[in-house]
Amino acid sequence: MTDARIRIDIDGAIATLTVARPEKLNAFDIDMLKALSVACDTVEADAGVRVVILTGEGKAFSAGGDIKAWGAMNPNEFGHHWVRFGHRVFERLATLRMPVIAAMNGHALGGGLELAAAADIRVAESQIRIGLPETSLGMVPGWSGTQRLVRRFGAQVVRRMVLGGEMFSAEEARALGLVDAVVETGTVLFAAREQAERIVRRGPAALEICKLMIASANGEDNGTAVEALGSILAAKTGDMKEGVAAFTGKRPAEFKGEW
């Protein structure tokens, strides 16, 4: 599915994903979630893409979920078609094979902060504010705000946002580890691009493996990380090549244990 509100621009080894619904502060509806999932598949399948920059168009990074998209849903629809689906899409983004940089050009609230948290590195402009205001609407963060954010940033800072309703400035967020760098207004894409160009100069295989290893150490889907690493290793062995050749040739395999 394509949607003009999720834009993909590929320049050499760097892909930029832009959430482009500025009139709604880049708030998501179902079609945008679907398009983000497709965009993740697109950049993952492009062997030339080595790093992804994620940003918003206009004054906001993202205001999260559009209340008009989910406010009238019954509990079953809300839980399954909105929360669980959005969770899967953000997990898809978080587990891309290449590093992802969130270029936070504006406020990141609720699902917008959860979106930024799915990136590996966050660069924020100095004017932005971030928070998780869901409890003020009688709801809970549903796109991993109480899960990924706790693992990556610590439980207490999430408590302050979710239970205490605190919102943080960019500098406060940097001091708390929620963002990695703060830059002047209007310069975040330039700063993210500089970071991306540094990443591109590093070994792509090493980066992918390190991303999996760090995720595993942080308790983020250990099973997937371990099996992905094991599968990559097995695929490079002489034994796997021999096994495939033997199956194709309808003959017994002659394994030699070659790594």
Instruction: Tell me which of 91, 125, 134, 208 is the catalytic residue.
Output: 134
CB 53 within 8 A of CB 103: yes
Annotated catalytic residue 227: no
Annotated catalytic residue 114: yes
Instruction: Tell me which of 91, 114, 208, 220 is the catalytic residue.
Output: 114
Catalytic residues, by residue number, are 114, 134
